[in-house]
Amino acid sequence: MIHLVFANDAQYMQKYEYICRIIGTIKLNHVKKICMKMKLNLLIVLASILVMSVSCQQKNKAKENLAPNVHKVTAEEVIQSSNYTYLRVSDEGKEIWIAISRQEVEKGKSYYYEPSVEMTNFESKELKRTFPTILFVDKFSDQPIVAANAKPGLTSKGNQPAIAKEGIKVEPAKGGITIAELYANKDSYAGKTVKIRGEVVKFSAEIMGKNWVHLQDGTNSNGSFDITFTTNDVTKVGDVVTFEGIVALKKDFGAGYFYDILVENAKLVAQM
């Protein structure tokens, strides 16, 4: 069998014409047909490889019964901070940074996550480092996040519906209002400073230059019972605190992060 290496069609034809003149058995038209057939076969082979690659990925995902938006990644680098674990992961051959609530993560191990909010040029003051692009992830596990757990109507992006914590009953701060009062009269409070006392049910640090605190006080107005504050102050889940800040309505930060009510630039107030 004769193997030929050529850079283009002209070299291809020259080689075969040369062989034709030597052996005198193959006509030029037949050579052209051979060229076209070999090109077609090459395209078929390449297409088959592509189909097989996609099929393997789909079969692997189907085998684990992963939810539609779940990514399987390998932890390549792990950096711990006070509140977050920063991970450089390999996601289908592409390396990206993600941030999760602080937890133990093993380098080289496989994990699963659902994409959440993406931040650009995010600066971690604690690490003294700026990440050009990083994903803040809520759902992260060393076990497959399966399709059976997916809830209709919810996506992996955006702030997730709050869950009322049982047993919370916090008296209002002196001169303050309850969360229910804020929701019931939100239009009249827009742009004004309010004081609210409650229990911290969620704390997220250093997002868009602020700490994000969720408070509940046990009151409820038509199903609304959780209020979010942005602040430079630090607290922790379980603390009963009083915040004072300015009420903003219909704040949209993109990626599904929309707040009907948000108390901005809040400051911790000493308990009275």
Q: Domain ranges in the chain?
A: 9-64, 71-149, 179-269
pLDDT of residue 47: 58
Main-chain phi, psi angles of 66, to 5 degrees: -70, 150
Q: d(Cα 85, Cα 54) in Å, to the nearest integer?
A: 32
Token pair for 181: 């009062």
Q: d(Cα 108, Cα 117) in Å, to the nearest integer?
A: 24
pLDDT of residue 166: 81
End-to-end C-alpha distance for the chain, whole angstroms = 94
Tell whether domain 71-149 is in CATH 2.60.40.
Answer: no
Domains 71-149 and 179-269 share a fold: yes
Q: What architecture is the 179-269 domain classified under in CATH?
A: Beta Barrel (2.40)
pLDDT of residue 121: 87
Q: Which of 86, 128, 122 is nearest to 107 (CA)?
A: 86
List of the chain residues with pLDDT < 50 = 1-7, 22-23, 25-26, 31, 35, 54-56, 59, 61-62, 148-158
pLDDT of residue 205: 83
